[in-house]
């Protein structure tokens, strides 16, 4: 009987936001595994006692990236960790978009502003400012060229907290076509979804946002699948990935491009795609040996 840890976060007195977690624990147990949900920062769990630790919903890691990466490195020496530590470390910083672009993958154009660097903001187009380490649209906002003072206040706050900012043109296609999330598991396409725009005009950067508005199933196009597979093939070292999510938007040329590549703790939305649960269980059990 394999022992499997589904790694999550400590939600404290609030209910966990991970709707998939109890479903996945139950499905793995029904399949004969000893599966438990464990917060990544739980005091002294026996990680070495698990055959596999699967990072699922460590959704507070971006607040504590260095601590989280240290845990990943430590856990990876004690048991098999999915995804592998080197992948997680690379994926914690969205400057990986530059690596994808260098490899010829179409990505949303991105500039980076580290603490101490000049705040060079666009003066001719709508744009987005967000941190290179973030999740759930935390510290993300959409601005017009006449809202620079507000954007500068955001940059100042982010830099004071040690974050590097990324600046991207706002992809207006999101307002009509949304974002498409292609989910992969065990090296194959699992399912896909489409969500609406997250960043409404005028929403403060520090306001809580709905991370996946109007989420619904989606059938990816051949072009979307091609870009997603090219992004996965460009991950350094060509590692074996248990899971991945590729978030795509439509670029100005009408073709899909990568918004984000989620290799750490992507929401699988199994509650929306219950037909995918058996494949996920099969792949996790195989990874556990």
Query: CA-to-CA distance for 155 and 132, rounded, in angstroms?
Result: 12
Q: Is 279 in the active site? A: no
Max distance between CA atoms of the chain, in angstroms, equals: 61
User: Active-site residue among 138, 245, 260, 265?
Assistant: 245
Nearest alpha carbon to residue 42 among 14, 75, 65: 75
Name the active-site residue from 216, 240, 255, 282: 216
User: Which pair of structure tokens corresponds to residue 14?
Assistant: 């609030």
223: buried, middle or exposed (CB in 10 Å: 19+, 13-18, 0-12)?
A: middle
Catalytic residue (one of 126, 229, 262, 279)? 262
From the CB of residue 8, how many other CB atoms can be counted at a distance below 10 Å?
22
- Establish whether 262 is a catalytic residue: yes
Report the candidate in 9, 79, 87, 28 with the shortest Cα–Cα distance to residue 280. 28
For residues 70-108, b (16+ Cβ closer than 10 Å) or e, as one string?
ebbeebbeebbbbbbbebbbbbbbbebbeebbeeebbbb
Structure token digits, residue 113: 């502003």
- State yes or no: is 172 an active-site residue: no
Q: Strands 165-169 and 127-131: what pairing?
A: antiparallel
Q: Which residues are catalytic?
A: 216, 245, 262
């Amino acid at each position: 009987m394999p022992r499997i840890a589904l790694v999550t976060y400590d939600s404290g007195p609030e209910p966990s936001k991970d709707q998939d977690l109890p479903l996945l624990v139950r499905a793995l147990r029904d399949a004969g595994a000893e599966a438990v949900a464990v917060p990544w920062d739980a005091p002294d769990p026996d990680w070495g006692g698990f055959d596999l630790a699967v990072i699922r919903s460590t959704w507070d890691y971006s607040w504590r990236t260095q601590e989280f990466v240290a845990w990943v490195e430590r856990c990876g020496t004690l048991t098999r960790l999915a995804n592998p530590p080197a992948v997680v470390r690379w994926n914690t910083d969205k400057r990986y978009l530059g690596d994808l672009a260098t490899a010829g993958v179409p990505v949303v154009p991105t500039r980076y502003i580290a603490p101490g660097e000049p705040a060079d903001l666009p003066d001719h187009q709508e744009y987005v400012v967000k941190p290179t380490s973030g999740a759930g649209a935390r510290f993300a906002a959409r601005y017009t060229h006449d809202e620079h003072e507000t954007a500068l206040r955001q940059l100042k706050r982010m830099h004071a907290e040690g974050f590097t900012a990324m600046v991207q043109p706002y992809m207006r296609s999101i307002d009509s076509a949304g974002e498409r999330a292609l989910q992969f598991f065990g090296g194959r396409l699992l399912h896909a979804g489409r969500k609406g725009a997250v960043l409404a005009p005028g929403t403060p950067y520090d306001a809580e946002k709905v991370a996946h508005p109007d989420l619904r199933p989606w059938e990816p196009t051949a072009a979307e699948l091609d870009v997603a597979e090219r992004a996965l093939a460009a991950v350094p070292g060509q590692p074996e990935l248990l899971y991945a999510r590729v978030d795509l938007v439509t670029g100005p040329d009408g073709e899909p491009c990568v918004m984000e590549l989620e290799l750490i703790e992507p929401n699988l939305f199994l509650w929306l795609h219950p037909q995918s649960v058996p494949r996920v269980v099969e792949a996790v059990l195989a990874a556990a040996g």
